[in-house]
Amino acid sequence: MVFSYNWLKEYIKLPKPEKLAELLTMHAFEVEEIKKAGKDYVLDIDVLPNRGSDCFSHIGIARECAAFTNSRLQIPKFKLKEDKNLKTRNSVAVEVKNKNDCSRYTARVIANVKVGPSPKWIQERLKVCGLRPINNIVDATNYVMLETGQPLHAFDLDKISNKKIIVRRAKNGEKIITLDNKRYNLDKDILVIADVKNPLAVAGIKGGKKAEIDKKTKTIVLESANFDSRIVRKSSKKLGLKTDASWRFEHGIDPSLTETGINRAAEIIQNIAKGKITSGLVDFYPKKVLPKKIKLDYRYLTKLLGLKIERKDVKQILKRLGFKIIKEEHPILIVEIPTFRLDISLPEDLIEEIGRIYGFQRIPAAFPIVSLIPPKRNFEIFWEDITKNILKESGFTEVYNYSFIGEKEAEVFKSAVEVENPMSVEQKYLRPSLIPNLLKNVIDNFRYFNEIKIFELGKIFPKERLEKRMLAGLITGDAFYQAKGVVDSLLKKLGISNIWYDEYKPTPEQSKIFIWQKERCAEIKVDGQEIGFLGEISPGIFKKTKVVIFDIDFEKLIKLCSEEHEYQPISQYPAAIRDLAVLVPLDVKVVDVLNKINVAGGALVRDVDLFDIYEGEGIVQGKKNLAFHIIYQAEDRTLKSKEIDKIHQKIIKILEENPEWEVRK
């Protein structure tokens, strides 16, 4: 909010604008900018949201400055000259339907005014603060708003039917045309100022055309009221109307300020537009607001800030802020809070006041004294870190993608959780999988990189109320076995054994989603549990290039991880390698052959390594050749050739039990 430096100086002695800005920033509100404006300076002050009620005004800011400089606040007293022959209560009637919507309504009447342009000094001040001068009546109300923080409104009394003002909720279907010629539809959630026939203004927000002040206006009625902040906020949102007045009401205002505001406005109008002020104030104020009392324990102040402030300094600060100390019994202080501080209701609020005026920069750094219990290890993060390290070591680059996907990607997944208020069409849904954005990464990077290895570990949202952590990796190209090797290596390093890969048999639900290329995809299983998938992506959904993805349920994975690692003693005795090649039908799975070899070979087969798969030229049609290194080793002796031959023959015999299998000799 912008403030005029010269205007502030009217109420208090101030240092130079730069110094003032620094002091405000360190003790109250950040000053975003200081700009020269003719002979004046404009300060853009970032008034904190909880201080709108007292600091959206020049007097409020001046009061703040008095608290942290040592100057005294000088607010000139305003003097009204009322006309004894005219009584306000005979000139206008006010009825407030619900005191919860409007806790106070004051009105004054000024007769025989001359509407015209306002004097230069008012126009200048309004302009410096970003408001447009209109006429002397409206300008006076705006001036008082900028000065005191109380918004006011002026009506042409002669245009008000029956000279009666009613503060009520609008009726469904009622309409209003505002001062700037815009039409609005009203309903019962909106508070209006009305006469017996029509709405005259949207309460606290904007005036209507019906009772508009114009050149011919002779008698005005001034409104200075306190409207419920929540209803003004709701109305403002509903109508899409935000004004300097509504902004102040939304933050809440001190009801005592209505009286100050209206008297000040009447005085100014009398000076600049002439007119006779009727005597008396019409004042609807059923429940007077009383100052709050707070008990402050001096020890708590010291304990919370970790800073010892002298008692006399504490009392002086409270005094400079306008707080009254009504009782003192050390270490307790009973403090009375002025009604203009709507934000103060707890001892902690007082401690903040004392601390900031004294200076938060004076709080020393002091380490806490705590017990030496080390924190418990967070296992999710522990395994996450290890997983990421392993993938990095395997040559993958980690990506972070948006948690959102667009319509196109959501279609592939058939169902995705919708965001009610997305920022864009591309972010309309929550991602049900990491895969769509990984595919997008390939498209975006393909110009510069034609071999891509990326992974992401993040949350997906498969259905409403559900979020799940997944690990997904992508390799471009014909990389199925490369990806399989990575998954094997990763799971092994995480201490997981009994990993196997099963053909992907999609459930009827899953079949509807054609991400994976048929017959080129596997379920990754640990014991009996499926923990993820590994396969080629169907060219139906991704055409740019061949791509292999592994997609693992990270939460399931963590449950299986183990740090336990048993060292395998290295045999002192040499190993012997024998090769074995077997011709099998194309549909035979390597794992079945491997299993047969291991079972037949027994404990002395230390390892079986597939080193070649060959089909095509030189091989019988419908068959493929699998070649293995079989590594024989015993822990307690050197195996003799004869022993090895015996086992090797046994293996061959078992393999050839199947008539279609042929061991090459």
- Residues 343-362 binding another protein (CB under 8 A) are 346, 348-349, 351-352, 355-356, 360-361
Q: Which of 240, 329, 448, 641 binds another protein (CB under 8 A)?
A: 448
Q: Kindly tell me which of 306 and 539 has the beta carbon lying closer to another protein.
A: 306
Taking CB under 8 A as the criterion, which residues in 289-318 touch another protein? 303-307
Helices (H) and strands (E) in the chain, counts: 21, 32
Q: What is the DSSP letter of 423?
A: S
Provide the residue type at 332 as one letter: I
Handedness of CA 457, 460, 462, 468 (dihedral sign): positive
Mark 92-121 with x for binding to another protein (rule: CB under 8 A) and - for no binding.
Answer: ------------------------------
Subset of residues 251 to 270 that bind another protein, contact rule: CB under 8 A: 251
Q: Which of 404, 480, 504, 550 is the binder for another protein (CB under 8 A)? A: 404
Indicate the residue among 94 and 305 with the shorter CB distance to another protein: 305
> CB of 549: closest distance to another protein in angstroms?
15
Q: Which is nearer to another protein, 216 or 447 (CB)?
A: 447
CB of 121 to another protein, least distance (A): 33
* Whether the Cβ atoms of residue 61 and residue 45 lie closer than 8 Å to each other: yes
Q: What are phi and psi of 207, to 5 degrees?
A: -85, 160
Report, in Å, the least distance between residue 422 CB and another protein.
Answer: 7
Which residues between 213 and 232 bind another protein (CB under 8 A)? 229-230
Sheet-wide strand order for 605-614: 605-614, 623-632, 576-585, 662-663
- Tokens 């077997």 belong to which residue? 582
Closer Cβ to another protein, 100 or 450, answer by number: 450
Neighbours of 43 (CB within 10 A): 22
Residue list 150-209, contact with another protein (CB under 8 A) = none
7, 143, 461, 661: which one binds another protein (CB under 8 A): 461
* Closer residue to another protein, CB minimum distance, 394 or 571: 394
Cβ proximity of 93 and 213 under 8 Å: no
CA distance 534 to 483: 8
Residues 16-35 that bind another protein (CB under 8 A): 25-30
For residue 508, what are the CA distances in angstroms to 254, 380, 512, 549? 65, 33, 7, 22
- Smallest gap from Cβ 441 to another protein, in A, equals 4
Burial of 521 per CB tally in 10 Å (0-12, 13-18, 19+): buried
- Does residue 337 sit in helix, strand or coil? strand
Q: Which is nearer to another protein, 28 or 220 (CB)?
A: 28
The count of C-alpha atoms lying within 13 angstroms of the C-alpha of 140, restricted to the half-sphere facing its C-beta, is 29
CA end-to-end distance (rounded Å), the chain: 92
215 or 447, CB closer to another protein? 447
Cβ–Cβ under 8 Å, residues 94 and 165 = yes
Pairing state between β 82-87 and 276-279: parallel
DSSP letter at 50?
G
Query: Binders of another protein: how many residues, by CB under 8 A?
Result: 91
Query: Which two three-digit tokens encode residue 90?
Result: 């005979």
Binding mask 413-442 for another protein (x = CB under 8 A): ----xxxxxxx---x--x------x--xx-
Q: Minimum distance between the CB of residue 290 and another protein, rounded to whole angstroms?
A: 23
φ/ψ of residue 440, rounded to 5: -65, -40
H/E run at residue 537: strand 529-537
Q: What is the per-residue binding string for another protein in 116-155, x denoting contact by CB under 8 A?
A: ----------------------------------------
Candidate list 158, 313, 328, 380; residue touching another protein; CB under 8 A: 380
Question: Rounded to the nearest whole angstrom, what is the least distance from the CB of residue 295 to another protein in the complex?
Answer: 13
Which residue number, 118 or 235, has a Cβ lying nearer to another protein? 235
Cα–Cα distance, 54 to 64 (Å, whole number): 10
Toward another protein, which CB reaches closer, 426 or 488? 426
CB-nearer residue toward another protein: 300 or 514: 300
Type of residue at 180 = D
Q: Which of 381, 425, 570, 586 binds another protein (CB under 8 A)?
A: 381
Supply the minimum distance, in Å, between the C-beta of residue 322 and another protein: 17
Ranges of H-type helices in 446-512: 480-493, 508-511
Instruction: Provide, rounded to whole angstroms, the least separation between the CB of residue 208 and another protein.
Output: 25
Kindly indicate which of the ranges 7-15, 124-132, 393-401, 628-636 contains the residues binding another protein, using the contact rule CB under 8 A: 393-401
Residue count of the chain, please give it.
665
237-243 long-range contacts, Cβ below 8 Å, gap at least 24?
Answer: 238/187, 238/189, 238/190, 239/184, 239/190, 239/202, 239/205, 241/178, 241/184, 241/202, 241/205, 241/206, 243/205, 243/206
Per CB under 8 A, 371 contacts another protein: yes
